[in-house]
Amino acid sequence: MKIKSAIIDLYNNEENQGMRCIQDIIKEADERYTDVDLKYDIFDTRYKGEIPDMSYDIFISSGGPGDPFDGKGKKKKKKYFKLLDKIWTNNQNKTKKKKFIFFICHSFQIMARYFELGDVIPRNSKSFGIVPIHKTELG
C-alpha cells in the first residue's frame, strides 16, 4: 500500500521545530510499517504560496507564528481556503476516496475560523510544547 502525504508548511519561513517533528513522525511510521510505503512532499504555503493538489491521501497542516487572521483576503490565504473546500467537497461525495487533513495549532485556528466552528481570540502569551489548561466553570 502506498500513502502520499502533503505537509503544508505555514511557518512563513521562520525557523521552527514543528516541521522537523512532522517529518520525523512520518519517517518513523514508514520504518515501523514496512508494508506501507509512506511518501511526503512539503508545500511552503504561507511563504511561497505553494498548494498541494488533490492527489494526496493525507494533508498535514502545520502550526506557525503570528495571528491566524494575517493574510485575510490575500491570494495565498485564498488558495489555502480553496484547498480546504476541495477536500470538503471530495469527502461529501460517497463515490470518492476520502482525504484526511490534520490541523496543528495555527492551522487549526484558521480552520475553525474558516468553517465558523468557534471564535478565535488572542491569548495572553505565546506557547510552545506543553502549556497549562485553564478550565472554565463549565469544565
pLDDT score for 40 = 98
The domains of the chain are located at 2-114
The C-alpha atoms of residue 33 and residue 57 are separated, in whole angstroms, by 17
Q: Is residue 86 classed exposed, middle or buried when 0-12, 13-18 and 19+ CB atoms within 10 A define those classes?
A: middle
pLDDT at 56: 99
Grouped pLDDT means (10 residues each) for the chain, 139 residues: 97 92 96 96 96 98 86 82 97 97 94 90 67 72
Percent of the chain with pLDDT over 70: 93
Per-residue model confidence (pLDDT) at position 69: 79
* Cβ pair 43, 9 in contact under 8 A: yes
- CATH number of 2-114: 3.20.20.60, 1.20.1050.10, 3.40.50.880, 3.20.20.70? 3.40.50.880
Contact indicator for 60, 92 with CB cutoff of 8 Å: no
Where are any strands of DSSP class E within the chain? Answer: 2-9, 37-44, 58-61, 100-103
Q: What is the CA radius of gyration of the chain?
A: 16
71: left (phi over 0), alpha (psi -120 to 50) or beta: left
Q: Residue 129: what pLDDT? A: 59
